[in-house]
Amino acid sequence: MTDRIEQRINSLNKRLNSEKRFRIYCIGAMSFALAWVLILFLNIFSSGYSAFYRTVIQVDVPFLNLIEDTTQFSEMSSEDINNLSMYSFSKKAIYRLFPDIEEKKDKKMLIRLFSIEFEQEIREFLKSNKSNINEAETIYLTASDDVDQVNKGNYPRDLDEDKRRIKDIQLLFFDDLVDRGLVSYEFNLPFLMRGDSREPELAGVGGSIVGSLFTILVVLILSFPIGIFAAIYLEEFAPKNKVTDFIEININNLAAVPSIVFGLLGLGIILNTFGLPRSTPLVGGIVLSLMTLPTIIIATRASLRAVPPSIREGALAVGATKMQAVMHHVVPVAMPGALTGTIIGLAQALGETAPLLLIGMVAFVVDVPQTPLDASASLPVQVYLWSESAERGYVEKTSATIMMLLGFLILMNLAAVLIRRKFETKW
Amino acid sequence: MGFILISLIILIGITSYFLGNLRAKNLRTSNQKNLKSLSHYYGYYVALWAVVPALLILLMITSFKSFFIEQYVLSDFIALGSYTETELSLLFTQIENTAMGIKLFDENTILIDGAVNKLNYINKTSENLTYVTVLGFSGLLVLYSIFNINHKLNSRKIVEKFLIVLYFTCSLVAIMTTVGIIFSLLYETLRFFSQVPITDFLFGLNWSPQRVFVREAGDLDTRDLANAFGAVPLFAGTFLIALIAMCVSVPVGLLTAIYMSEYASPKVRDWAKPIIEILAGIPTVVYGFFAALTVAPLVRDIGQGAGLTVSSESALAAGFVMGIMIIPFISSLSDDVIKSVPQSLREGSYAMGATKRETIVKVLLPAALPGIVGSFLLAVSRAIGETMIVVMAAGLNAKLTANPLDAATTITTQIVVILIGDQEFDSPKTQSAFALGLTLFVVTLALNFIALQVVKKYTERYD
């Protein structure tokens, strides 16, 4: 008797224990998923935030050596200044940081502490301040990528010299400059404004941000009206027949087609058959609109369906035609849902990369695009491009680009949530 | 130019709306007779006549213009008869560049100069001609439609009919997209299979299209082609990486879904669900970066610590990160399915003395199985079609391997590798990418179809 009771208790304990274990597994699984969200964000942010400031080195530039009287600059046009030969002058200004250096090799090393556009930077300074240039001016010149990374502590200094991109003598120069207080940080505005570059310290996301904006604009212009009209037709006017069924099956299937297939469509039809220009936000936008249309149509249909029949019937009862009932009464009520769906579709399109690779939006573009017909990259493509580059400086830039991309996505999703909260009517 | 012209057309449209409206109102007051529609419908009627045909004509002109311009400019060269078609199009680009002031070549100067002049002339004329045609047409139609307004004309019906047709056309875009996809994939694929037998593609064990690219297209050996386009390593790599991804995402996703629907308090649920769904909203290129820069070196270091040789582009790292990406697809769908199992089943099970785990494993999961299997299948189709993670973190060279620590390549990776940058459309290498795309398209469609059928067929109704 007691044996059987004990058996029962044992079995009950076993069951309860396995219940506990199961619960722990479940919690473990969920924590695992949550942990990866955290790890992902921490990883990106910790390596990306440093791209938002940059290392500059303070250099005294004796403009008097360039011209007898510095007031003459104010009479020069930008063109004249562009024509000034300033290369050796700029180099000499940098040599003045270490007047004792004689050897040519060392001088070269010193120059390499700066970005290759140091001459251009001095010229720009001259252009923007030409009316009041003193005999000598202090200019903050962009440091080269290697110096920038060493200064930020991202680059290991204790490697062997031949494995390092930055040489011992350069580190010596650099440490001396730090001791003299000439090395400082400033907000990395060029990173936000400029296009791509082969030099990490000069590369910026400005071009790809504009490219992304143009692309999203094209997507919005194309997919918002088409998606909403299609949804209105299918939900309100379509007769129940084979054509309608076929359209519906198509929409549901398109929602599941891998994005890269849309890239193949863009390459095969839009580029090769219609001959639209490669690498442009226009083509990217067209391809991405085709991809986001199902999302918008499905969301809009759901919100049209959620409008109570009483609204429709009320309008019909007072003599409105079907079109008037739909356009004046049903669609305005369903609009918040349609807008939410559109924004979510746009967010998807903003983060999409694969189809853009196939239609050539991976071109290396230095200039910030001016119209949707200029070749350009987009933010996610920029991430891909830079992640393929070997230079260490691109790692933080890539992470920073991802931060901005995620920032845009979060903003868009927040907007969608807000629209839904604010305008959605519960019936 | 297009922008100004379109703005002008829209301006005409707005004005003609007011004109039509005004005309209808006048007609009503002057004749003391009711019109068939409200007056603003006459405004819309006129505006539609003003805008729609003009835009269609503009579209037609812009799509055919370049062809005619090219024919006209090159007419002298065509008359010579010594140029092939590709040479002619090359010549045309050169002429265009010269017209923009970029001097590229100095031979044939008289003909070229003539052509450049012709180009400048025709560009200017065609622009003027477009303006005149489109705006003139629009204006004529405005006049026609205004004078067409009378008591018998029911403009509301016409406007509504137009809107229905417009809406219908918009909904056809979905069909056109599908047709476009199938057409573009099939066209190149068939050209590919005319050079490479389909059996070699489906069953060949060696994938090295670069070899074809290196050689001149002229002396391609058929045996070479056969050996270069065996897609089995790609199928195997895709399968391997998808399998790894599913090994991560199925247990985690399913257990998370169970926790959310059965254990979690509403408060925890409200917080955790959106956070996990963030994983689905992160662009895949971000996962790719994360996999390539953080996870892959980590996997390699751990593997080397354990004395294993791990490739720095291991399938494991790519598959693992892909698995994390897929978690929310499985967890959200399964969560919905489990929650929709009727309460009575739960309570019946509890009444028999079952623990929560027993209820879940023996009652709820079997009841929700079709939906859960459906979510797995959708997740597999996601994993197969995923591109950026594998492009950035998986290998680029095809190698037949089942070792997750080795580098494996996938269908999507090879499509990108082949098509990124400049393509030559006559080479079987480029066409092979479309064949891969078609395979991908068919497989994912089949998976989605099966998933839908499973859900439809096996879902039991408890009412």
DSSP string for A187-205: E-HHHHH----SSGGG--S
Residues counted in chain A: 427
Least CB-CB distance to A226: which of B173, B276, B434? B173
User: Does the distance separating the beta carbons of B173 and A387 come in below 8 Å?
Assistant: no
**Which amino acid makes up residue A415?**
A
User: Does the distance separating the beta carbons of A29 and B256 come in below 8 Å?
Assistant: yes
Residues B273 and B408 in one domain: yes
DSSP designation for A75: G
In a domain, B241, yes or no: yes
Dump pLDDT digits (tens) for A8-47: 999 999 999 999 999 999 999 999 999 999 999 999 999 8
In a domain, B61, yes or no: yes
- pLDDT band at A156, cuts 50/70/90? confident
Beta bridge partners of A292: none
Beta bridge partners of A52: none
Residues B252 and B204 in one domain: no
Backbone phi, psi, residue A183, to 5°: -100, 130
User: Does the distance separating the beta carbons of A413 and B187 come in below 8 Å?
Assistant: no
B407 in Cβ contact with B394 (< 8 Å): yes
CATH of A206-423, one of 1.10.3720.10, 3.80.30.20, 3.40.640.10, 3.40.50.300: 1.10.3720.10
Residues B270 and B194 in one domain: no
Which of A216, A264, A271 has the most B C-beta neighbours within 10 Å, making it the best mutation to test the interface with B? A264
B45 in Cβ contact with B159 (< 8 Å): yes
Dump pLDDT digits (tens) for B294-345: 999 999 999 988 888 888 888 999 999 999 999 999 999 999 999 989 999 9
Residues B81 and B48 in one domain: yes
**C-alpha distance from A22 to closest chain B C-alpha (Å):** 7
In a domain, B130, yes or no: yes
**What pLDDT does residue B39 have?**
85
List chain A residues with CB under 8 Å of B386: 258
Residues B436 and B411 in one domain: yes
Least CB-CB distance to B440: which of A22, A261, A323? A261
Cα torsion angle, A156, A161, A166, A169, sign? positive
Which CATH number belongs to the domain containing residue B315 in this structure? 1.10.3720.10
Residues B194 and B239 in one domain: no
* Chain B contacts in chain A segment 290-329 (CB below 8 A): 290, 293-294, 297, 321, 323, 327
Which of A387, A389, A398 has the most B C-beta neighbours within 10 Å, making it the best mutation to test the interface with B? A387
User: Does the distance separating the beta carbons of B286 and A406 come in below 8 Å?
Assistant: yes
Residues B144 and B45 in one domain: yes
List chain A residues with CB under 8 Å of B171: 229-230, 233-234, 238, 247, 297
Dump pLDDT digits (tens) for A43-74: 999 988 988 999 999 988 888 777 777 777 77
Least CB-CB distance to B259: which of A29, A323, A380? A29
Q: pTM of the predicted model, to two decimals?
A: 0.89
User: Does the distance separating the beta carbons of A256 and B175 come in below 8 Å?
Assistant: no
Residues A405-422 have a mean pLDDT of 91
Buried b / exposed e across A301-331, counting CB within 10 Å, b at 16+? bebbeebeeebbeebbeeebeebbbbbebbb
Shortest CA distance from B258: residue in chain A: A26
Q: Quote the radius of gyration of chain B (alpha carbons, Å).
A: 32
In a domain, B165, yes or no: no
Give, for A93, the enclosing helix (H) or strand (E). helix A87-95
Least CB-CB distance to B263: which of A23, A43, A272? A23
User: Does the distance separating the beta carbons of A234 and B181 come in below 8 Å?
Assistant: no
HSE-up of A9 (CA within 13 Å, CB side)?
Answer: 6
Q: At what angle do helices A281-305 and B155-193 cross, to 10 degrees?
A: 120
In a domain, B364, yes or no: yes
**What pLDDT does residue B316 have?**
92
- pLDDT band at A245, cuts 50/70/90? confident
SS3 for A140? strand
**C-alpha distance from A70 to closest chain B C-alpha (Å):** 38
Shortest CA distance from B382: residue in chain A: A258
Dump pLDDT digits (tens) for A307-317: 999 999 999 99
**C-alpha distance from B177 to closest chain A C-alpha (Å):** 7
Tokens of B264: 């979690």
Residue ranges in A306-375 assigned as alpha helix (H) = 309-317, 322-324, 331-351, 354-358
**What pLDDT does residue B160 have?**
93
Dump pLDDT digits (tens) for A321-362: 999 999 999 999 999 999 999 999 999 999 999 999 998 888
In a domain, B214, yes or no: yes
**What pLDDT does residue B1 have?**
57
* Whole-number Cα distances in Å, B160 to A59, A325, B42, B164: 72, 12, 12, 6
* ipTM of predicted assembly, 2 dp: 0.90
How far apart are alpha carbons A135 and A96 in whole angstroms? Answer: 15
**What pLDDT does residue A70 have?**
73
List chain B residues with CB under 8 Å of A34: 272, 275-276
Residues B208 and B248 in one domain: no
Of A221, A344, A360, A341, the closest CA to residue A284 belongs to A360
**What pLDDT does residue B348 have?**
94
User: Does the distance separating the beta carbons of A258 and B412 come in below 8 Å?
Assistant: yes
Residue that has been written with the tokens 């094209």 in this structure: A218
Buried b / exposed e across B388-406, counting CB within 10 Å, b at 16+? bbbbbbbbeebbbbebbbb
User: Does the distance separating the beta carbons of B437 and A264 come in below 8 Å?
Assistant: yes
* Chain B contacts in chain A segment 16-35 (CB below 8 A): 16, 18-19, 22-23, 25-30, 32-34
**What pLDDT does residue A291 have?**
94
**C-alpha distance from B281 to closest chain A C-alpha (Å):** 8
Q: At what angle do helices A206-232 and A393-423 cross, to 10 degrees?
A: 30
**C-alpha distance from B393 to closest chain A C-alpha (Å):** 10
How far apart are alpha carbons A88 and A103 in whole angstroms? Answer: 16
pLDDT tens, residue order, chain B (463 aa): 578 888 999 999 999 999 998 888 888 888 777 788 888 899 999 999 999 999 999 988 888 887 888 788 777 777 777 777 777 777 777 777 777 766 655 555 667 777 778 888 888 888 888 889 899 989 999 999 988 888 888 889 999 999 999 999 999 998 899 999 999 999 999 998 988 888 888 888 888 877 665 544 455 555 566 577 888 999 999 999 999 999 999 999 999 999 999 999 999 998 988 899 889 899 999 999 999 989 999 999 999 888 888 888 889 999 999 999 999 999 999 999 999 899 999 999 999 999 999 999 999 999 999 999 999 999 999 999 999 999 999 888 888 888 888 888 999 999 998 888 666 667 788 888 999 999 999 999 999 999 988 888 887 777 6
Provide, for chain A, the percentages of residues in helix, strand and coil under a 3-state DSSP scheme, each rounded to the nearest 5.
70, 5, 25
In a domain, B222, yes or no: yes
**Which amino acid makes up residue A74?**
S
How far apart are alpha carbons A139 and A142 in whole angstroms? Answer: 10
* Number of cross-chain residue pairs from A and B with Cβ atoms under 8 Å apart: 250
Beta bridge partners of A57: A141, A183
How far apart are alpha carbons B292 and B304 in whole angstroms? Answer: 17
List chain B residues with CB under 8 Å of A405: 283, 286
User: Does the distance separating the beta carbons of A268 and B185 come in below 8 Å?
Assistant: yes
Dump pLDDT digits (tens) for A120-136: 888 888 888 877 777 78
**C-alpha distance from A165 to closest chain B C-alpha (Å):** 20
**What pLDDT does residue B224 have?**
60
In a domain, B36, yes or no: yes
A269 touches chain B (CB under 8 A): yes
The CATH 1.10.3720.10 domain(s) of chain A lie at 206-423
Q: Exposure of B223 by Cβ count < 10 A (0-12 exposed, 13-18 middle, 19+ buried)?
A: exposed
**C-alpha distance from B129 to closest chain A C-alpha (Å):** 23
Least CB-CB distance to B167: which of A237, A253, A398? A237
Shortest CA distance from B177: residue in chain A: A290
DSSP designation for B103: -
Least CB-CB distance to A387: which of B188, B292, B387? B292
Q: Quote the radius of gyration of chain A (alpha carbons, Å).
A: 31
Contacts of B118 (CB under 8 A, 6+ apart): B72, B73
HSE-up of A237 (CA within 13 Å, CB side)?
Answer: 24
In chain B, how many domains are there? 3
Residues B123 and B238 in one domain: no
Tokens of A186: 């400033």
**Which amino acid makes up residue B178?**
T
* Chain B contacts in chain A segment 351-410 (CB below 8 A): 351-354, 357-358, 360, 362, 380-381, 383-384, 387-388, 395, 398-399, 402, 405-406, 409
How far apart are alpha carbons A208 and A376 in whole angstroms? Answer: 7
Residues B310 and B451 in one domain: yes
List chain A residues with CB under 8 Å of B279: 33, 36-37
Least CB-CB distance to A253: which of B275, B384, B448? B448
**Which amino acid makes up residue B209?**
P
DSSP designation for A373: T
User: Does the distance separating the beta carbons of B289 and A358 come in below 8 Å?
Assistant: no
Q: Starting from the edge strand earliest in sequence, which strands make up the sheet with A53-62, in order?
A: A136-142, A53-62, A183-187
Residues B15 and B140 in one domain: yes
Q: At what angle do helices B266-281 and B315-339 cross, to 10 degrees?
A: 140
Domain, as residue range, for B66:
2-153
Residues B367 and B390 in one domain: yes
Beta bridge partners of A186: A54
Average model confidence (pLDDT) across chain A: 88
User: Does the distance separating the beta carbons of B171 and A22 come in below 8 Å?
Assistant: no
Least CB-CB distance to A29: which of B251, B392, B416? B251
DSSP designation for B207: B
**What pLDDT does residue B109 have?**
64
Residue ranges in B194-314 assigned as alpha helix (H) = 198-203, 209-214, 222-228, 232-258, 266-281, 284-290, 296-305
